[in-house]
Amino acid sequence: MPRALRRDLLSAALAAALVVTASAAYAAEITGTWLTEGGKSRVQIEACGDKFCGTIIWLKEPDDEATGRPKLDARNENRTLRNRPIMGLAILGGFAKTSDSRWGDGTIYNPEDGDTYKCTLTLEDDNTLRVRGYVGIPLFGKTQIWRRVTE
């Protein structure tokens, strides 16, 4: 095989390998905006140092029906935190990557009941995130499916 053809084939193979590697790296990322199950909120997940965290950036119903004011974290166990708005609230924290498609050792805060749970995040595919909140061990928990927002 001529040297130029061999070089061209090698270059093409390397380029293809880089494309596959780059798309695999993207496929295994949880950063971005996610619509929570039921469509009530959107959570922005991003790197926070060497961990990952998530913040509520959108609410379907941002205002309290009774007062017309922004919804507050009224059910928080810590009374001093009950006046903080739900919009902008950090609800995911401390997640470390444990495999190609899984993040663990994190917590999720549920403003609907005011409790914080242990949590794992599993990327099912580019646009589907399985969020498992639990007490004690994952067996005793609940899973939600979040969808990536691409708009």
Q: CATH number for the domain including 66?
A: 2.40.128.520
138 & 88 share domain: yes
Q: Are residues 91 and 119 in the same domain?
A: yes
C-beta separation of 47 from 55 below 8 A: no
Looking at the structure, tell me whether residues 116 and 131 fall in a common domain. yes
pLDDT digits (tens, 9 = 90+) for 13-57: 433 333 333 333 433 599 999 999 999 999 999 999 999 999 999
Distances (CA, A) of 63 to 44, 81, 82, 86: 20, 18, 15, 10
Question: What are the φ and ψ backbone dihedral angles of 150, each rounded to 5 degrees?
Answer: -110, 0
Which range marks the domain in which residue 9 is found?
Answer: 1-28
pLDDT tens digits along 57-66: 999 999 999 9
Domain count, the chain: 2
Shared-domain flag, residues 103 and 132: yes
Read off φ and ψ for residue 59, nearest 5 degrees. -125, 135
